[in-house]
Amino acid sequence: MTKTIGFLGLGHMGGPMAANLVKAGYDVYAFDPSAAAQEQARADGIALADTGPAAAAGRDIVITMLTNGKLVRDVYAELLPAAVPATLFVDCSTIDVADAKAAAEAASAAGHRALDAPVSGGVAGAAAGTLTFMVGGADADFAEALPVLEVMGAKVVHCGASGVGQAAKICNNMLLGISMIGLSEALVLGEKLGLSHQSFFDVVSTASGQSWALTTYCPVPGPVPTSPANNDYQPGFATALMNKDLGLAVEALRANGVDGRIGALAAEIYSEFNETSGGRDFSAIVTEVRERSGGSAPAE
């Protein structure tokens, strides 16, 4: 029998994810307090409930896609008493490992089951149904959620116990932030030394400095035509979100006694850049590195 799904949080990510579930034939009952999100949901054929608890009550699976850990915990406190026993809660938001574990423990104490299942792939991946899910929780719960997650994603990885999905997300995004800054410094150094962006790309993309940041998301216009650099750094992945994820990474570094000096520095650099980024993509950090280096963008 097809599962019924409650879906809370129909924003940039949750809206298209819920729409893909509807397209795949699932009965989705959603809630979002934002009028704009509700309007889009109606256009996408998503059934709307009047409250969060009404969206969750009587469903097999309840998915949340919310902005931060406090909101997830607050929303769980409202939903858990309303849901039928043993409902499977799947939180796809990017939040702190400690908040993810606390939310799952609250679900379990209320007689339910819970997975953390944050995603990577951005708004484009959410719309195309090609997200990567990183999942933490019990084997049987993972197996039950898998067909539903596969509708919204191209890759679903069971990373381990509760909270470990969030751990994977935080580790990946810390490395991405570090690597985008490192790449930007190398590009600006190359500019100063007379190396064109295309020559830099042609060498480094197949040499030992190669990275996803360069080959898929090149932060200067030209070599990768689909990267945000070619579109005035419209996100993509906004600097504010990278700043948030690096904040979570730094907390996790400290809480676990890891000597993460580069991660901490990346968080500091993105925190400063977030003040002036004007909503641009996180790859626009290259413009900041160039400006601080007294340079101007070379003519391509």
Q: Which of 70, 101, 155, 169 is catalytic?
A: 169
Exposed, middle or buried by CB within 10 Å (0-12, 13-18, 19+), for 251?
middle
How far apart are CB 23 and ligand NAD at their closest, in Å? 18
Closest to 174 measured CA to CA, from 235, 249, 122: 249
From residue 129, how far is each of 67, 151, 153, 165, 225 by CA, in Å? 20, 6, 5, 19, 22
Residues within the interface to ligand NAD (CB under 6 A): 8-14, 31-34, 37, 52, 65-67, 71, 75, 93-94, 119-120, 122-123, 237, 241
> Mutual orientation of helices 285-292 and 164-192 as an angle, nearest 10°?
40
Residue with smaller CB distance to ligand NAD, 10 or 224: 10
Distances (CA, A) of 119 to 71, 122, 155, 299: 18, 8, 10, 37
Nearer to ligand NAD, 65 or 135 (CB): 65
SS3 content of the chain, % helix, strand, coil (to 5): 55, 15, 35
Q: Which is nearer to ligand NAD, 30 or 145 (CB)?
A: 30
C-alpha pair distances (Å), 56 with each of 8, 210, 295: 8, 45, 54
Known active-site residue 169: yes
Provide, rounded to whole angstroms, the least separation between the CB of residue 153 and ligand NAD.
12
- 155 forms beta bridges with 132
CB of 192 to ligand NAD, least distance (A): 32
Q: Which is nearer to ligand NAD, 52 or 129 (CB)?
A: 52
Q: How far is the CB of 167 from ligand NAD (least distance, A)?
A: 15
Closest residue (Cβ) to ligand NAD? 11
For the annotated catalytic residues, the residue numbers are 169
